[in-house]
């Protein structure tokens, strides 16, 4: 065996073992946006504000207050008269000491008033309903009994679909089963 081959083996074998034996890093479940839909407040597993940020509306320098809110804000939304509105926002930005400090609507949207009509948003909103039937510690992957999907075009709700997930996903094991 050549010297080069020995050197490669002494580097590659330990590196491969480290990669194979290392435990995977799983992203943290995120704090969902909130929405009032049909008179009931619930979770919103979509982030409609992200499409607001463009070259004309640059994304503020939000600061993550903890690993459950990487985006640095939590929006409060409302569907009223088939229109999507941003009714409020709790956001975090760095203070003079470099710490994540809470800021409100006025700091994020200077000169604009609440509620803000979400005319910039075209996409699908996911509103989970009922009890969680399978918790997934990642993003918005937890499965609930039902999902309401609202298709929105330029801030207007144009279609609604409800999905029953109860018979599609096995329930998470209880502590007794473990």
DSSP single-letter state for residue 49: G
Confirm whether 176 is domain-assigned.
no
Residue span of the structural domain in which 80 resides:
33-164
Looking at beta carbons, which pairs linking 166-169 to residues 24 or more positions away fall under 8 Å?
A: 166/133, 169/133, 169/134, 169/143
Residue of 45, 58, 178, 175 lying closest to 123 (CA atoms): 45
pLDDT at 89: 97
Rounded Cα distance, 131 and 154, in Å: 31
pLDDT at 19: 36
Q: Which parts of the chain have pLDDT scores under 70?
A: 1-27, 139, 169-178
Confirm whether 114 is domain-assigned.
yes
pLDDT at 20: 35
Q: How many domains does the chain have?
A: 1
Three-state secondary-structure class, residue 14: helix
Confirm whether 26 is domain-assigned.
no
- Report pTM: 0.76
Q: Are strands 123-134 and 116-117 parallel, antiparallel or unpaired?
A: unpaired
Confirm whether 18 is domain-assigned.
no
- Tens-digit pLDDT profile for residues 149-178: 999 999 999 999 999 999 886 655 555 544
């Amino acid at each position: 065996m050549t010297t080069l081959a020995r050197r490669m083996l002494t580097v590659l074998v330990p590196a491969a073992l480290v990669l194979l034996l290392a435990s995977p890093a799983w992203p943290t479940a995120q704090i969902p946006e909130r929405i009032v839909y049909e008179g009931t407040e619930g979770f919103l597993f979509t982030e409609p504000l992200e499409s607001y940020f463009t070259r004309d509306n640059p994304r503020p320098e939000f600061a993550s207050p903890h690993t459950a809110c990487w985006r640095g804000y939590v929006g409060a939304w409302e569907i009223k008269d088939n229109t999507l509105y941003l009714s409020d926002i709790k956001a975090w930005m760095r203070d003079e000491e470099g710490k994540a400090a809470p800021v409100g609507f006025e700091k994020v949207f200077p000169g604009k008033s609440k509620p803000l009509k979400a005319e910039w948003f075209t996409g699908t909103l996911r509103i989970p309903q009922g009890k969680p039937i399978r918790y997934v510690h990642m993003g918005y992957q937890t499965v609930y009994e039902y999902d309401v999907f609202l298709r929105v075009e330029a801030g207007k709700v144009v279609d609604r679909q409800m999905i029953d997930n109860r018979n599609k996903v096995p329930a998470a094991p209880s502590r007794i089963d473990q």
